[in-house]
A and B are shown apart, each in its own frame.
Chain A
Amino acid sequence: MSLETIKPSPGFHNYLPKEYQDLIEDGPFHQKRKVSELGSFKEAIEEHPMCAGCAMTLFIRLVYLGLPSLEHSVIVGTAGCGRLAITQGAVPFIYGNYGDTNCVASGLKRGLDIRFKDTPKDVIVMAGDGGLADIGFHAVMHSWFRKEKFTTIMLDNEVYGNTGGQESGMTQKGMVLKMAPNGKKFEKMDMLGLAKTSGVAYTARISPTNPTKVVNTIRKAVLIAREVGPTYIQAYTSCNIEYAIPTPKVMDDAREVEKDRYGYLEYFSDEAKEYWDKSEADRKKARKAQVK
């Protein structure tokens, strides 16, 4: 999609909502926006029906900023809180069936690759812990085994938030939640370990405490997926409702959990590392040449 595609015919411009006009004139397409610019341009996502203080919403906002080619990205999701915000984004979103994200993304990415040989089209799965680790687990694993070239982002709030607070596989052991009246009986699933075992090219664990880090991680994951193979980001995006975190304390909680058990972790496969180091070196060289 070029900026031309979303531009209306001249006569119609003034009849479109102000929102839409802003997206064209001062939006995120075809230009690199920085974290420091947030609030000063028309973002891909603004209004949303998420709960006040939701950390997941902040994270999703940063994902849109991190996508290296917003105008050529398609996001795939499934039922859960996240899609309430993602459907409001100015990026095509496929809201599939329950837990089918990574099957849909496999077919979508392959189909786009057949049709667009010269333009890389990025497919990004963004769904919750229930959607990816429970109902969509088999599809996630097999997309990794098959080395499908797209990024999977888990919005891990460690609970089924959208259906009202039931235990998920990513809930910590012992937590008392709905459907776990006596506390969860087993450990939080080790999706990062499974990703590594199944040959994911790049894996990262992150909390939304440092926006620049989030943006850079997203960008890295999408670019590596484009060239090397599947990538996986697992983000702590707390549920302040079900875990009763006071709204002003949401970021304090994120920092505490990060320090305690959700610190930044990165894992590269050898191939991904080689690709990333080389492309970083090339970028630096190009930047230097530009300065000169």
Chain B
Amino acid sequence: MKDGAKVEDKATHQVREDDPRDRVASPPAPTPEKIEEKKKGAAAQRIVDPDYLMIDAPREREFITGSEAAKEAIRRANVDIAIAYPITPQSETMQQVGYLYAEGYIKDYYRAEEEIGVMGAIAGASRAGVRALTATAGPGLVRGIEQIASWPGGRLPSVLLVMCRVVNCPLAIQPDNVEISYLLNCGGIVLHGENQQDFYDYSVAAFMIGEKPEVTLPVAVAVDGFFVTHARGWVNMPAEDLKLPPRDCYHESVPMMDNENPPIRISRDAPIQKSNFISYQMHASWQQEVFAAQERAKKWINRWLGGIIEVVNPKAKTMIVASGAAVSQSREAVRQAEELGLDVGLIKIKSIRPFPAQELIEATDHAERIIVPEFNYVGWLAKEVKSTIGRNERVIAGPRVFGGMSMPTELIMETIVGSKIT
């Protein structure tokens, strides 16, 4: 293709000039001169109120990949330390974050040995009171999950970006979001973004939600790999000279391990792990508190994600319930159904943990059928929905695609009409 040729953008159907960057898989590394120039940008950033950055600040639209959207979120998130380890389809994001470090937007950054090393170091950094970030995908998440499952109990606010891909054998790098089911019972907050815009917005919000004193929990922001990370979409973002306030570690629910605190952690209590009734009680109440803290995060999720759920056609008798990239497919199905004169609605679930139980019960109460399309074999979202709402025989657990398949809208339409569409 010649430079300057006209191409049609597949997402928006707009005709625009060909951008040579579209033809490379990964943006080239910035030159040293470019990095020097960018350092000025980092130095010129100013701290603004989180509400301003996330809600009120004027925004400009850019056509970027999900990985780039995540990078732009991190640029504005005042991150202290980012720890990277490559895995497809995440690598692009953490290497972009590496450039942010080189440019002075992040204070420390390194490539760790593997995911146990990454997730352990994130725990250490978070305990030191700094704002810590990492990202992973599929097998990397499962490898690191012993650590990830211990973050909430440690009350460690940190942010984990998850670019979902196949986990199981046979090994594959294809999109599939089964890994979210492994995260559900870890105790941390789990947000699931639909597109590039969500990836930007949820990633910025994640830091602020997790660091709220009444929450003090890690936040995972998951998106469907490739569909979101490697495809471009329009993302509205505030100016890049704005950033979040730094982490205020002395206003969280547990003290830091920095020896600058009153001595709650130099008490001489026996370790909780010892087997006695006090330890059972402590462990039990600690777990209850972690999951209660998730619920307390709802207020902030509602505020900064514009509601924990989004409802389209709220009165429709057939409701689709979806999260992640399946929402986009479902939006198209709703549109096509409308063309056929069918009354179909959509509930987008933005947060999987905390799960919007009451909101979902209310939004589906009138529905006769509830369709749950998913990008995984196990149907974890359908199980969540079934165990939440009453009269759950209304739930149609599907359609589902997995192992890298895309989800043609026809699949959802066939479920809606109840027969093959020819």
Contact check, A121 vs B126: say whether CB atoms are below 8 A apart. no
Segment touching A, from B114-122, B215-223, B384-392: B114-122
With most chain A CB atoms within 10 A of its CB, the pick from B114, B128, B261, B263 is: B128
Cβ-defined partner of A107 (8 Å) among B113, B122, B262, B268: B122
Contact check, B265 vs A92: say whether CB atoms are below 8 A apart. yes
With most chain A CB atoms within 10 A of its CB, the pick from B110, B113, B274 is: B113
With most chain A CB atoms within 10 A of its CB, the pick from B120, B127, B130, B262 is: B120
Min CB–CB distance B147 → chain A (angstroms): 6
Chain B, residues 14-33, CB within 8 Å of chain A (1/0): the string is 00000000000000000000
Q: A96-B123, A100-B147 are in contact. Are A142 and B112 (CB under 8 A)?
A: yes
Instruction: Give the A interface residue count (CB, 8 A).
Output: 46
Q: For the complex, what is the distance from the CA of A113 to the CA of B120, rounded to whole Å? A: 17
Collect the chain B residues with CB atoms within 8 Å of residue A49's CB.
270, 274
Question: Is A104 located at the chain interface by the 8 A CB criterion?
Answer: yes
Segment touching B, from A32-40, A71-79, A222-230, A258-266: A71-79
Cβ-defined partner of B81 (8 Å) among A71, A110, A121: A110
Contact check, B263 vs A116: say whether CB atoms are below 8 A apart. no
Min CB–CB distance A72 → chain B (angstroms): 5
Collect the chain B residues with CB atoms within 8 Å of residue A121's CB.
258-259
Cβ-defined partner of B125 (8 Å) among A74, A97, A108: A108
Question: Is B163 located at the chain interface by the 8 A CB criterion?
Answer: no
Question: Is A186 located at the chain interface by the 8 A CB criterion?
Answer: no
Contact check, A139 vs B120: say whether CB atoms are below 8 A apart. yes
Contact check, A1 vs B261: say whether CB atoms are below 8 A apart. yes
Question: Is A106 located at the chain interface by the 8 A CB criterion?
Answer: yes
With most chain A CB atoms within 10 A of its CB, the pick from B116, B265, B270 is: B116
Collect the chain B residues with CB atoms within 8 Å of residue A112's CB.
128, 258
Collect the chain B residues with CB atoms within 8 Å of residue A95's CB.
271
A residues 48-71 in Cβ contact with B at 8 Å: 49, 71
Min CB–CB distance B148 → chain A (angstroms): 10
Q: For the complex, what is the distance from the CA of A5 to the CA of B263, rounded to whole Å? A: 8
Q: For the complex, what is the distance from the CA of A278 to the CA of B262, rounded to whole Å? A: 36
Question: Is B124 located at the chain interface by the 8 A CB criterion?
Answer: yes
Contact check, A103 vs B112: say whether CB atoms are below 8 A apart. yes
Collect the chain B residues with CB atoms within 8 Å of residue A88's CB.
268, 270
Contact check, B121 vs A104: say whether CB atoms are below 8 A apart. yes
Min CB–CB distance B304 → chain A (angstroms): 25
Q: A107-B123, A115-B130 are in contact. Are A100 and B116 (CB under 8 A)?
A: yes
Contact check, B132 vs A107: say whether CB atoms are below 8 A apart. yes
Collect the chain A residues with CB atoms within 8 Å of residue B119's CB.
103
Cβ-defined partner of B113 (8 Å) among A94, A115, A138: A138
Question: Is A280 located at the chain interface by the 8 A CB criterion?
Answer: no
Question: Is A98 located at the chain interface by the 8 A CB criterion?
Answer: yes
Cβ-defined partner of A98 (8 Å) among B128, B146, B274: B146
Question: Is A47 located at the chain interface by the 8 A CB criterion?
Answer: yes
Contact check, A97 vs B81: say whether CB atoms are below 8 A apart. no
Min CB–CB distance B271 → chain A (angstroms): 5
Contact check, A108 vs B116: say whether CB atoms are below 8 A apart. no
Question: Is B198 located at the chain interface by the 8 A CB criterion?
Answer: no
Q: For the complex, what is the distance from the CA of A89 to the CA of B269, rounded to whole Å? A: 9
Question: Is B366 located at the chain interface by the 8 A CB criterion?
Answer: no
Contact check, B120 vs A96: say whether CB atoms are below 8 A apart. yes
Min CB–CB distance B42 → chain A (angstroms): 15
Contact check, A100 vs B120: say whether CB atoms are below 8 A apart. yes
Collect the chain A residues with CB atoms within 8 Å of residue B129's CB.
111, 115
Contact check, B113 vs A142: say whether CB atoms are below 8 A apart. yes
Contact check, A139 vs B116: say whether CB atoms are below 8 A apart. yes
Cβ-defined partner of B263 (8 Å) among A6, A96, A139: A6
- Name which residue of chain A comes closest to B117, CB basis: A103
Min CB–CB distance A64 → chain B (angstroms): 12
Collect the chain A residues with CB atoms within 8 Å of residue B107's CB.
114
Q: For the complex, what is the distance from the CA of A112 to the CA of B260, rounded to whole Å? A: 11
Cβ-defined partner of A139 (8 Å) among B81, B117, B259, B270: B117
Collect the chain A residues with CB atoms within 8 Å of residue B132's CB.
107, 111
Q: A92-B265, A96-B120 are in contact. Are A111 and B271 (CB under 8 A)?
A: no
Task: List 14 A-B residue pairs with CB atoms under 8 Å apart, sorted by A's residue number.
Answer: A1-B261, A5-B261, A6-B263, A74-B257, A92-B265, A94-B127, A96-B120, A103-B123, A104-B123, A106-B120, A107-B121, A108-B124, A108-B125, A114-B107
Residue positions of A touching B, CB distance < 8 A? 1, 5-6, 19, 47, 49, 71-74, 76, 83-84, 87-100, 103-116, 121, 138-139, 142, 146
Contacts A5-B261, A94-B127 supplied; 19 other A-B pairs, CB < 8 Å: A6-B266, A19-B268, A49-B274, A73-B259, A87-B270, A87-B271, A90-B263, A96-B123, A100-B120, A103-B113, A107-B126, A107-B128, A110-B81, A110-B125, A112-B128, A114-B80, A115-B129, A121-B259, A139-B120
